Amino acid sequence: MNDQTCQRCGEPVELDREDYELFERMHPECFHYAFEHDLTQPGLSVDEDCGDPACPSAA
């Protein structure tokens, strides 16, 4: 049974329990958007690259 659901987008998260907890019960990319993406550029769209090497929006 998989009861791991993303706190941000609501989709199932297929990660090890440890990793799931590590990312605050979110997908790694959702965690990034929730906590890191607009830190330096408040209000930045999720479609734009925030400059973080780990940014899912990077080309």
- Chain contacts with Zn ion (rule: CB under 5 A): 6, 8-9, 27, 30, 37, 50, 52, 55
SS (H, E, C) 26-40: CCHHHHHHHHHCCCC
Residue 20: how many other CB atoms lie within 10 Å: 18
3 state SS of 5:
strand
Q: Token match 């790694």: residue?
A: 28
- Of 20 and 37, nearer to Zn ion (C-beta) is 37
Shortest CB 40 distance to Zn ion, Å: 10
Q: How far is the CB of 30 from Zn ion (least distance, A)?
A: 3
Q: How far is the CB of 57 from Zn ion (least distance, A)?
A: 5
